[in-house]
Structure 1
Amino acid sequence: MSDISGKGEHDMKTLSTSAEDDSGHEIGIGDVQAVGLQKSFHLWSALGISFSVTSVPLAIGTYLSVSVGVGGSPVYFFGYVVSVIFNLCICASLAELAAVFPHSSGQLYWTSQLAPQRYARGLSYLVGWLTAAGYFFWTAATFLITSELIFALVQICHSHFTPLAWHYYMCYFAIGLWALLPNTVFFKWYPLFLQGLVVYINLGSLFILVLLLVRSSPKQTSEYVFKDFVNQTGWSSNAVVFFIGLLPGLTAINGFDSAAHMAEEMSEPSRQVPQVMFISAVASTIAGLPMILVYMFCITNPANLLDPLGGQPIVQLMVDSLHSLPLSIIGTLIFIICFACASITLLTTFTRIWWSLAREGGVPFSKFMARISDSSQLPINSIIFSVVACSLIGLLELGSATALNAILGSAVLCIFFSYAIPIACSLMSKRSAFERPHYFNLGKALGTALNLISVVWIIFVFVWLCFPLYLPVTMDNMNWAVLACAVVLLISGINWLIHAKTEFHVSRSIQRG
């Protein structure tokens, strides 16, 4: 196995100025040409990863449990719209960064290029750990949701069966092994699988949409969907309820950087990465809106969603609304396949983040984690570590489902935090890195405005994501997201003192005073 240590000695060169490649396309500032990884992904396969990471048309249904008592349908719909508008500002800001600095380290590398030189190394290290933690939690959450959907299907077919915690964990572990295979043994066919996945998600969503519209009766009124505010949270202010109910939209249109971590496996990353980021976000936004409306209009028994089959309200909705066991089974299978595939793509993203952080010396056993297999040209050690780590955190399900769900809820906090730092650094440097010609050029005025809106929005929602959904606060409903983020910071701090303080290195192609 070849060793990519991450101290600037690996087979990669960084271009400090813009240029053109042999085909005449512009190469972004800081564009990378990595020898270690094979160029396995192109525009459509990378789009398959980015689109399926969130799988918005289907995944948005899994947030029904949040909306039922937290504002109801109006918050679910209008909260999605508000969140999407501001999240697209973040996406545009990050896409421009990816065009200028295409690199598999994503926001870690962007921070190293944009932060004041005195703070670049420390901030880059922090961003790297926040990004890795966010996708680690997100990957584990997808494993869990998939296992819940599977046992919801079992309960549809066998209503008297009650799954135990260890049932969920064994299924959770099996999903991890399933996600491992396309990322290793069957990686040769992975890009083709990703192209088909985009088609599957959209066709599956269309099938669910038509099925619910045809079969559900009676449908909800427009007043229920757009006006009937439901506050069962214990919070006296409806404004507070609206803001804490933004979670579906914040989570659904997110993960913009997933394509950025594939940069060194794409032939033209300075163009393809920002294209994938923005196309995926816009497509997800458009696909999510009609699905939300269909879900809301087709709820026939809102009370059942508070205690749904398998913990998944979308399954309960289909059972209540489709009035058919075979159709409910088919609909649930569509969701199971979607989330099983999303588990694969999220594992891919997490492994590339962990590998790139290891390459820079930012994790324990960095040299081991950063190795590329000579036979497969894949970071096998990082891939196996990722599956093992996700499997270990899943053990919390055996002791406390509340604890695991609370930790996984911190994924959005970590990822948003990792977005805010490079965008803020861009503003502090007065966008000087964007003065040279580059693809996806927002321009000085628009770029500054979008960067500023993004940072303010992230700070704003960061506060609300730390609020508990329900009062009075108990051990069961407490929001543990801040504690989970604190644990991430603690672990990264310990690793810094023991290992990374001397080993962590990030190259800087642009020198600043």
Structure 2
Amino acid sequence: MTSKVILSSNYGSIHHETTSQPLPRTVFSTFATFGLAFTNIGILSNLSASFQTGILSGGPVTMISSWNVVAFFMLCIALSLAEICSAYPFNGIYYWAYELVKQGGGTKSGKAAPFVAFVTGWIYCLAMIIAAGSADLSVALAIASMIRMMSDGAVDLSMTTTLILAIAILLSHALLNVWNMQLISLLNEVSVWWSCGGLVVICAILAAFTPQHNDVWWVLTDYENYTGFSSVSYVVMLSMVCAAYTLFGCESVAQVAEETEEADSAAPFAMVASIAVSWFVGLIFLFILLLYTQDIQSIEQTQFEMPIAQLFLDAVGSRWTMVLLVVLVVSQYFTGCTTITLVSRLIFSLARDHAVPMSDRLSHVNDKAIPDNAVYAATGFAIFFISPYPFSDFVFNAVLSATTVTANLTYAIVLLCRLIVPIKVRGRFSLGAFSTVITALGFIWTIFAVVAFILPTRWPITVDNFNYASLGVTGVILFTLLNWWFWAKDQYHGPTAHVNLNHVYIPATSVA
């Protein structure tokens, strides 16, 4: 399939000319694009899902400090990627890698560009798929906790039943995504207000109905360690998984650039604003949770599938806990739906560029201008990645770590390309003289995250608590490299659209 994409001289919008039906433009407004990024980050949903990881690895003091440290570095990453996105508001992170390597000049750069783009695209795609699966598994865990609470412990969903529930939720998201994109756009806008309103509701209920609360000094200084490791620095490093898992994903809005008006300004704004707002909102949410935490050991020993339910139960009792869990479940549902939207667009882009098998089918667009087969593929692979959940309680934590590691690995690739090859094309958003420094800070963090989050999380190490993220990430990398060697190196030659220095996209095959 041939394609030609033109970005207007005033950076107005992307026009995609192709032999098949293009994705509709102007589905997402600037606010809806911000909503997409903010919802994909999912402060209420993802911070609630990973809360136990942080509080058992250092306690309140490490959670607060880790949140601020990770948020700072994620803002550096967002700023750097936003600058690249403003220059190349098309196809997302793997396309940026291709363009940056291609601009390096010379025969070697030309040959390396398709390989770098392929590896970046595949690893990032798998990271997004894992994120979609973990988001909906979080919904299922929260619902299972609600059922246990409503039945006073009489009904305890098995891990297999919880997995089936997560699969059903994933399928519902697939149906929503192939039904109406205007509805998805509306849901993302609603999600922003739901998250903000939900935060107010949670704060109000905890403040009004908790008999006693911790003092601020305890929140800022208390150290707890349930990991089995004696090294404080190592435990602090483990606590960062909670923040890192929550705060990744702002760059994914570039996947819907074709459906966004003024994409070269709307997408960068959404990326930076979503991290900045998430930093602030998340810090408030985290502080409130810690302020009203009654018993950390109770959270560590809880029978609830979603440990934060134990925090709520200890604080305000079962009736109000149900209300709080409903707030979280709805927020988590929004996040899962958004993630399926974004990863399906990435699969569609890769398929259109012939970077995946069965490209013709996966790049199919239905009569509603929705890449339906890509949606189904994203859902199917998400189900595959969460299917080992019934085998171990620690699989969910491994999924969190694997998502964080694979996402940061793709960040590292793009940021390294950016450091080696300066941007020759400037969009509306530019960091100016601070560009290299900010990019370098982001790159340093990504390397740290890739190494740190595959290390053991409990001691002594057993079959049950082993950090299987290391095996998962290794499998993702090997799977990607083997696909390149045995299939893609002869099939994939880079994106089917290429940008020149005048912001005019032309077929890559016609570029000298």
TM normalised by structure 1 equals 0.91
CA change 1:423–1:393 in 2 (3 A) is closer
The answer to whether the 8 A contact 1:217-1:300 is kept is: no
Residue 122 of structure 2 is matched in structure 1 by 129
Q: Are 1:259 and 2:253 counterparts?
A: yes
Tell me the SS of whatever aligns to 2:5: strand
Quote the Cα distance in structure 1 between the aligned partners of 2:209 and 2:138. Answer: 26
The answer to whether the 8 A contact 2:455-2:470 is kept is: no
Deviation at 1:173, TM superposition (A): 1.4
Q: Are 1:147 and 2:133 counterparts?
A: no
CA change 1:293–1:243 in 2 (3 A) is same
1:126-205 matches, within 5 Å, as 126-158=119-151, 159-205=153-199
Q: Which amino acid aligns with 2:343?
A: F
Q: Which amino acid aligns with 1:298?
A: Y
Q: Are 1:355 and 2:344 counterparts?
A: no
Deviation at 1:163, TM superposition (A): 1.3
The answer to whether the 8 A contact 1:233-1:471 is kept is: yes
CA change 1:499–1:405 in 2 (3 A) is same
**CA-to-aligned-CA distance 1:330-368 (integer Å, 9 cap, x gap):** 111111111111110011111111111111111121121
Residue 408 of structure 2 is matched in structure 1 by 416
**CA-to-aligned-CA distance 1:61-119 (integer Å, 9 cap, x gap):** 33221123311110011110111111100000000011000012x11000111113231
Quote the Cα distance in structure 2 between the aligned partners of 1:338 and 1:69. Answer: 24
Quote the Cα distance in structure 2 between the aligned partners of 1:502 and 1:253. Answer: 37
The answer to whether the 8 A contact 1:183-1:190 is kept is: yes
1:20-419 matches, within 5 Å, as 20-21=9-10, 26=11, 32-35=14-17, 36-39=22-25, 40-104=27-91, 106-115=92-101, 116-158=109-151, 159-323=153-317, 325-373=318-366, 375-403=367-395, 405-419=397-411
**CA-to-aligned-CA distance 1:230-268 (integer Å, 9 cap, x gap):** 223222221111112111221222102121111111121
Q: % of aligned pairs identical?
A: 22
Deviation at 1:54, TM superposition (A): 1.8
Residue 449 of structure 1 is matched in structure 2 by 437
Give the alignment partner of residue 433 of structure 1, picking from 424, 435, 441.
Answer: 424
Q: Which amino acid aligns with 1:198?
A: V
Q: Which amino acid aligns with 1:433?
A: K
Gaps of 5+ in 1: none
Residue 509 of structure 1 is matched in structure 2 by 499
CA change 1:32–1:499 in 2 (3 A) is farther
CA change 1:404–1:83 in 2 (3 A) is closer
Quote the Cα distance in structure 1 between the aligned partners of 2:401 and 2:229. Answer: 20
CA change 1:34–1:458 in 2 (3 A) is same
Tell me the SS of whatever aligns to 1:295: helix
Deviation at 1:405, TM superposition (A): 4.2
The answer to whether the 8 A contact 2:88-2:499 is kept is: no
Quote the Cα distance in structure 1 between the aligned partners of 2:158 and 2:270. Answer: 41
Quote the Cα distance in structure 2 between the aligned partners of 1:38 and 1:309. Answer: 47
Quote the Cα distance in structure 2 between the aligned partners of 1:69 and 1:151. Answer: 22
Quote the Cα distance in structure 2 between the aligned partners of 1:77 and 1:58. Answer: 18
Tell me the SS of whatever aligns to 1:250: helix
Deviation at 1:309, TM superposition (A): 4.3
Quote the Cα distance in structure 2 between the aligned partners of 1:87 and 1:151. Answer: 32
1:10-21 matches, within 5 Å, as 10=3, 12-14=4-6, 20-21=9-10
CA change 1:459–1:223 in 2 (3 A) is same
Number of corresponding residues = 488
Quote the Cα distance in structure 2 between the aligned partners of 1:446 and 1:486. Answer: 34
**CA-to-aligned-CA distance 1:255-305 (integer Å, 9 cap, x gap):** 021211111111211111101111111111111111111100101122111
Deviation at 1:395, TM superposition (A): 2.6
CA change 1:242–1:343 in 2 (3 A) is same
CA change 1:79–1:157 in 2 (3 A) is same
Q: Which amino acid aligns with 2:394?
A: T
CA change 1:203–1:394 in 2 (3 A) is same
CA change 1:394–1:61 in 2 (3 A) is closer
Gaps of 5+ in 2: 102-108, 502-510
Quote the Cα distance in structure 1 between the aligned partners of 2:365 and 2:482. Answer: 27
Residue 467 of structure 1 is matched in structure 2 by 455
The two structures, once aligned, show a CA RMSD in angstroms of 1.9
Tell me the SS of whatever aligns to 1:372: coil
